[in-house]
Amino acid sequence: MTRAVDEQRWTGYRDETTELLSALLRVDTTNDNETAAAELLQRYLAAAGVESSLVGELPRRQNLVARLPGSRPGPTLLLLGHTDVVPAEPDEWSVPPFSGLVKDGWVWGRGALDMKNQVAAQAVAVARLARAGDGLAGDLVFVATCDEEAGEHCGARWLVENESGLVRCDFLLNEGGGEFSPLDDGLLYPVTVGEKAYAEFRITTRGQGGHGSVPLHDKNAVEKLARVITALADHEPEAFVGPLTAAYIDVLIADDALRARLKDPATARAAVAGMHAAGDPLAYAVEPLLGITFSPTVVHAGSGAVNVIPSHAEVDVDCRILPEQRPEEVEREVRRALAGIDGWEFEWTDVTEGNESPLPTPLSESIERVLSESVPSAKVVGVHLSGFTDSRWFREAFPEAVAYGFCPFVDEDTDTMGDRCHSADERVSVMDLAYQAYFFERVARDLLR
C-alpha cells in the first residue's frame, strides 16, 4: 500500500478509530442491547459537534441517525452499519470475546469484522469532517442500526418504513465488499452492487409409522428424507452467468480455458466442480454467483423416542437466487432433482426479491479514485453478494438510491482473514481499521465535493 497521508495524520486515524472500536466491542450487543452502543456513538459524535437522534421500536434496541449538513446543495451520502453481533462461545476464544482487547496490532472481540470495525471507521470519518468544518456539497448521514443479524423487526427495515425522512439518501455505503484477493497483476476488490434473494423452502416426506424394531425401508419417512437431501446435494441447477458475474470471472480467473468454461452456462457447473476437486478456493467465490444454490440446514423427524419410526420428516433448505431469477425456477429445479423419489411435498418458507444498483455511478467512481490513491494496483469489480445485508431494505424503499457494500482492507486479504467472521478470535488489524476511517472520510469529500 502507498501511504496517502503523512505519519502524524495516519497515527491520528489509527488511535481514534482503535479507541472507539475497542469501546464498542466492550458493549455486548448479541442480538440485543444495541441502545447502549448507539448511546456510546452519540456521545462520541456530540463531542465533535455532530447532532444525532436515537429512534426505534424497542427501548433496548434503538438505531442512531446522525447528520452532518452540507454547506451547499448536493446529494446525500449515507454511511450505514449495524451494531448487533452474533453469539460468541467464550470457551472457544483465546481472549474474552467482549474485551475489546488491543494486542499485537489487532483489535479483538465479537463484531471486530462484522461489523463494528466499519461502524467505528464511519463514525470517525464523520467526526473528523465535522471538526475540519470544510463543508460538503450535500448532506452526510451516518446510521448505526440494530437487528441486522436476525433482521426480524426493529432495525433498517423499521427505519425505512417508519422514519424514511431521516434516512432517505441518494448514495449509500454499507458492508459486503472490500476484502481483496491477490492477482498476478494487482489486487481484486469486489464491491457489492446487489444481493441474492431468499427462496427458502421445506420438503416433507411421508411414510408409515411403526416400531423401530421392524425396518420399514421404503415406507420410512426418515429414509425417504435422506434420499431427498442426497438428491438435492447431487443436483446441479442450470447455471446463469450474467454480465456482472462474467466481468468478475474475467478479472478473478487467470487461466483462459477455465475462464471460458466458467462463463459458459453449459459448462460452468462442471468447471466449478473441477475447481473444488483440485482444492481451488476460488470455487467458493464463483459458485454462488452462478444462480440457484441449495443448502439443507434444518432437519426435523420423530418425537425423540428412538424406538418409534415417525410417519413424516422434513428438511428446511436455504436457497438463494440472483436478482435476475424467479422462485418458480427453484421449484422447477427441485422437481428435477427429486424426480425419482416418491412421497414428498414442497412448500415455501421464505421468499424475497433480490435487488441491485447500477454500475458505474458517481459513487463507484469515487470508490475507485480514493482506493487508487493508496492501492494503485487495485481493480474494483462489481459482484452480487450471496448473503444478506441491510442494503436490500434501502434499495426497496428508495429505488432511485445507489447502495453498495464496500469497506476496504489493505493489510489482510480474503485468505488470511479466513473464517474469523462469526467465529472464534474475531479480530481486525489496526492498519486496516485506520485505513477504513481514512477511506470513508476521503470518499465523502470526493463524492460531495
User: CA 268 to CA 440: how far, in whole Å?
Assistant: 37
Q: 121 falls in which pLDDT band (50, 70, 90)?
A: very high
The string of DSSP letters for 236-286 reads -PPP---HHHHHHHHHH---HHHHHHHHSTTTHHHHHHHHHHTT-TTHHHH
The dihedral of CA 407, 411, 416, 420: what is its sign?
negative
Share of the chain above pLDDT 90, in %: 88
SS3 at position 205: strand
pLDDT at 33: 97
Give the residue carrying C-alpha cell 499485537.
104
User: Is the pTM value of this prediction over 0.85?
Assistant: yes
pLDDT at 4: 64
C-alpha cell recorded at residue 205: 416426506
The string of DSSP letters for 282-324 reads THHHHGGGGS-EEEEEEEEES-S-TTEE-SEEEEEEEEEE-TT
Q: Is the pLDDT of residue 422 over 90?
A: no
Length of the chain: 449
Q: Is the pLDDT of residue 418 over 80?
A: no
SS3 at position 232: helix
In the predicted model, what is the mean pLDDT of residues 412-431? 87
C-alpha cell recorded at residue 279: 482444492
Distance of CA 37 to the CA centre of its chain: 20
User: CA 188 to CA 260: how far, in whole Å?
Assistant: 19
pLDDT tens readout for residues 232-279: 999 999 999 999 999 999 999 999 999 999 999 999 999 999 999 999
Amino acid at 400: E
In the predicted model, what is the mean pLDDT of residues 138-157? 93
Strand ranges inside 83-160, DSSP E? 102-103, 106-108, 140-145
pLDDT at 84: 97
pLDDT tens readout for residues 331-384: 999 999 999 899 999 999 999 888 999 999 999 999 999 999 999 999 999 999
Q: 3 falls in which pLDDT band (50, 70, 90)?
A: low
pLDDT at 312: 95
User: Buried (b) or exposed (e) across 48-83, using 16+ Cβ within 10 A?
Assistant: bebebebbbeeeebbbbbbbbebeeebbbbbbbbbb
Q: Is the pLDDT of residue 2 over 60?
A: no
pLDDT tens readout for residues 171-213: 999 999 999 999 988 999 999 999 999 999 999 999 999 988 8
pLDDT at 197: 93
User: CA 366 to CA 362: how far, in whole Å?
Assistant: 6
Distance of CA 191 to the CA centre of its chain: 11
- Tell me the pLDDT of the chain averaged across its residues: 95
pLDDT tens readout for residues 69-88: 999 999 999 999 999 999 99
In terms of Cα–Cα distance, which of 110, 179, 124, 182 is closest to 432? 179
pLDDT at 179: 92
Contacts 24+ apart (CB under 8 A), 87-90: 87/30, 87/31, 88/30, 88/424, 88/426, 89/424
pLDDT tens readout for residues 318-329: 999 999 999 999
Q: Is the pLDDT of residue 62 over 90?
A: yes
Q: 67 falls in which pLDDT band (50, 70, 90)?
A: very high
Domains defined for the chain, CATH in brackets? 7-182+356-447 (3.40.630.10), 195-351 (3.30.70.360)
Q: Is the pLDDT of residue 161 over 90?
A: yes
Helices and strands (H and E) in the chain: how many: 15, 19
Give the residue carrying C-alpha cell 423419489.
341
